[in-house]
Structure 1
């Protein structure tokens, strides 16, 4: 139990637990990531600056050994994703394959597509390694 943060209205504060639970469920249950594990794996989070995405970025970067790549399009959103713990930040308004190549990534093992999945679907499929997980 904790007090509501002063900077949040009641509706925003009420949504925090659901956002965190969703991110936790996605990372550890749906994607099958092991807490403290998955060294050598790479998680691509499309929409890492959003509510679930930013919590997912924090959980993955702090509680796993994975490399975390977050996407965001605006400079201030990209900075937010970096501060949340992403090892790399790419711009999802540009072709994802080009953005991944720019940071030296040829494939990823896990994808959490939280926004614009239809737009990025083919690029995400092409980026997935053979033994990858998708949610």
Structure 2
């Protein structure tokens, strides 16, 4: 019997309409992460960016992965004038020679009043 190539990690807060991560074949798709931690939405772009990246790291760790396994990110910012500020934080989470492919865009608003949202795709080859 062939093993399923999809795995849904519900993990999100009860009532939210998405999974934190979904595995499809050799890839893990991580839902967009806001800068929300145990105390709620962090204050300001820098703190939200760090918290969102920490959230991504925690989800990766739950799948026995780390930032080296991330191959693509999509970044949404409510203020593109803060793009350089975001980049200083974002690049600190990756090795200089292991930066994933990335798209960044300005948006008019994000859920819960967030200033940044980051979604990622990581590579996790199936082991036979």
Q: TM-score, normalised by structure 2?
A: 0.30
| Structure richer in strand, relative to its length | 2
Higher RCO structure (Cα 8 Å, ≥6 apart): 2
